[in-house]
Amino acid sequence: MAGARGEGKRVALITGAGGVIGAAVSERLHATGWAVAGVDLTPPSAALVDVFFDADVSDRAALAHVAKSVRDELGPIDLLVTAANDYESAPIGALAHERWQRMVHVNLGGTVNACAAVVPSMVEARRGTVVTTTSWLALAGGERGEAYYAASIGAVIAFTKSFALEVAKHGVRVNCIAIGPTDSGEPGALAGETGQRPRLAGRLARPSDVAETVAFLADEGDFYVGQVFRPCAGAVI
């Protein structure tokens, strides 16, 4: 039963919707007729989402509540994009234990929590698309005190592959996008972008690359399961 506000529209839930990547994804989906629900600690521009939830992705109960609210208000969730991200660099041993834990609980835990909150109803409906996000640093390694971050976000790849296999037979497609060093217009906003120069592609990765990949997976990606897409403009080949 579709809620009043999402009538006739496909429904997407985006975590990290207030960030550079989440906002680009929200904007792309919103512009092409999706009803978009956003989750973050900082709200995105109101024009990009139909509903916003101020919630912490590391809080499993909070995400379960968000998922239920989205279903009630907009209708069944067709697409989940997990883009909440916590980045900090520090040499090993130099990061406070609580900060490391926080990074793991947002980057890995936030992904797991969102999937646990949303996917059971997709399995029941026997359809749905999930796109998780990781970083090119998880593939290439980071040079500048990024071992903590790379570990926390790289775990998303292992989670995605196994979870994808778990739910593929139920018609739910789970894949991952590795975000490259990104030209966000906000230096330092994303992991690893400072100091990266466009080399092969004449430009850095763009948030729109991620947004277009999400749209492709939602529209035409039914034969992709457990893949890691790398629209990183040649940062990792």
Partner 1 sequence: MGRLDGVVALVTGAAQGIGKATALRLAGEGARVAVNGRVDDARLRAVAAQCGPACMAAPADIAKPDDVRRMVATVEENLGPIEVLVANAARMTMKPFLEQAPEEWWNQVDTNLGGHIDVIGAVVPGMRRLGKGRIVIVTSYWGVIGWENATGYACTKSGLIALGRSLARELGPEGIYTSLVAPGVIDTPQLEVDARDAGLPLKEMHKIYAQGIPAGRIGTAEEVAATIAFLAREDIAPAYIGQVLNPNGGEIRCSM
> Site for partner 1 (CB under 8 A): how many residues?
34
Query: Measured from the CB atom, is 113 or 213 closer to partner 1?
Result: 213
Query: Measured from the CB atom, is 19 or 180 closer to partner 1?
Result: 180
In this structure, are residues 226 and 164 in contact, taking their beta carbons and an 8 Å threshold? yes
Q: Which of 45, 72, 143, 199 binds partner 1 (CB under 8 A)?
A: 199
Which class for 180: exposed (0-12), middle (13-18), buried (19 or more C-beta within 10 A)?
Answer: buried
Q: Segment contacting partner 1 (CB under 8 A): 16-24, 61-69, 86-94, 209-217?
A: 209-217
> In the numeric block, which tokens belong to residue 63?
């995400």
Please, which of residues 122-161 interact with partner 1 by CB under 8 A?
161
Q: Which residues contact 130 (CB under 8 A, 6 or more apart)?
A: 79, 80, 81, 82, 115, 118, 119, 122, 163, 172, 173, 174, 175
Please, which of residues 13-32 interact with partner 1 by CB under 8 A?
none
Beta carbons within 10 angstroms of residue 227's beta carbon: 17
Binding status of residue 94 toward partner 1 by CB under 8 A:
no
Q: Which of 62, 100, 123, 224 binds partner 1 (CB under 8 A)?
A: 224
Helix axes 147-168, 109-125, angle to 10 degrees: 10
Binding status of residue 230 toward partner 1 by CB under 8 A:
yes
Query: Measured from the CB atom, is 114 or 235 closer to partner 1?
Result: 235
Helix/strand/coil for 105: helix
Binding status of residue 49 toward partner 1 by CB under 8 A:
no
Q: Which of 25, 137, 164, 218 binds partner 1 (CB under 8 A)?
A: 164
Please, which of residues 166-185 interact with partner 1 by CB under 8 A?
168-169, 173, 180
Binding status of residue 68 toward partner 1 by CB under 8 A:
no
CA distances from 212 to 22, 26, 32, 112 (A): 12, 11, 11, 23
Q: Segment contacting partner 1 (CB under 8 A): 29-37, 51-59, 120-128, 225-233?
A: 225-233
Q: CB-hemisphere CA count at 13 Å for 73?
A: 16
How many angstroms separate the CA atoms of 110 and 16, rounded?
A: 10
Binding status of residue 203 toward partner 1 by CB under 8 A:
yes
Tell me the closest approach of the beta carbon of residue 22 to partner 1, in angstroms.
18
Read off the DSSP letter of residue 23: H
Helix/strand/coil for 225: coil
Query: Measured from the CB atom, is 111 or 113 closer to partner 1?
Result: 111
Name the residues that contact partner 1, by CB under 8 A: 161, 164-165, 168-169, 173, 180, 199-203, 205-206, 208-209, 212-213, 216, 220, 222-234, 237
